Amino acid sequence: MPDVLATLAKLPELCAARLPNDGSPILIRRGVAGYWPFKPDLDVDAFNARHGTTPAQVEAMLCGSMFGWDVPAADPDTHGEQVRKP
């Protein structure tokens, strides 16, 4: 089982992502289950770039928010170069 505190330390406080089922923009907060819907015109990539958030961190936060922060997929190191593309 991963060390949750070590995993959370690798993640930004907040990131933008797209819902896998319909692509709508959402915000995810580190360590918190679920997400918050955001304005439809949010440029997810620009938001994350402005905050220095990597695609691996976004994918890890999406996984953590859905499946728990203690799963291996919540660690950005498990995502490498091959992350989901919108």
pLDDT given at position 86: 46
Q: Structurally, how many domains does the chain consist of?
A: 1
pLDDT given at position 84: 56
pLDDT given at position 83: 54
41 lies in some domain: yes
83 lies in some domain: no
Q: What is the mean pLDDT of each run of 10 residues along the chain (86 residues)?
A: 87 96 96 95 96 96 96 92 54
- Helix or strand run (H / E) with residue 31: none
pLDDT given at position 1: 52
11 lies in some domain: yes
Give the distance, in angstroms, between the CA of residue 3 and the centroid of all CA atoms in the same chain: 18
